[in-house]
Amino acid sequence: GAVVSQHPSRVICKSGTSVKIECRSLDFQATTMFWYRQFPKQSLMLMATSNEGSKATYEQGVEKDKFLINHASLTLSTLTVTSAHPEDSSFYICSAMQRSQNSPLHFGNGTRLTVT
């Protein structure tokens, strides 16, 4: 089955530093990748939609200059949290969609970010 690899699974960083999270589709080409954030006991909140070769589309309230998304190839998207603050501590999950429009999303295992 389709596999999405997300790295790192856990990261602890100091306030003010930047953290990069990678999301790779291992056995399929992902024309679209989605980035979600999830706080404890809450649902997944869509942050941005990333299409290969074009700029990401950010949801309302998500700062594009703070959460930099790059989707340079059909198998890799990255999310960089710049100048991280403690309130950015959360569970970040990426997902990828195959070329077939109505195929289910395949999720990475998530990244637990803790900003101290």
Residues forming the site for another protein (CB under 8 A) = 31-32, 34, 36, 41-46, 49, 57, 91, 93, 95, 97, 101-102, 104-110, 112
Cβ nearer to another protein, comparing 74 with 82: 74
In whole angstroms, how close is the CB of 16 to another protein at the nearest point? 27
Cβ nearer to another protein, comparing 5 with 80: 5
What does the angle CA 35 – CA 91 – CA 105 come to, to the nearest 5 degrees?
A: 40
Give the H or E element holding residue 92. strand 90-98
Give the H or E element holding residue 20. strand 19-25
Cβ nearer to another protein, comparing 36 with 67: 36
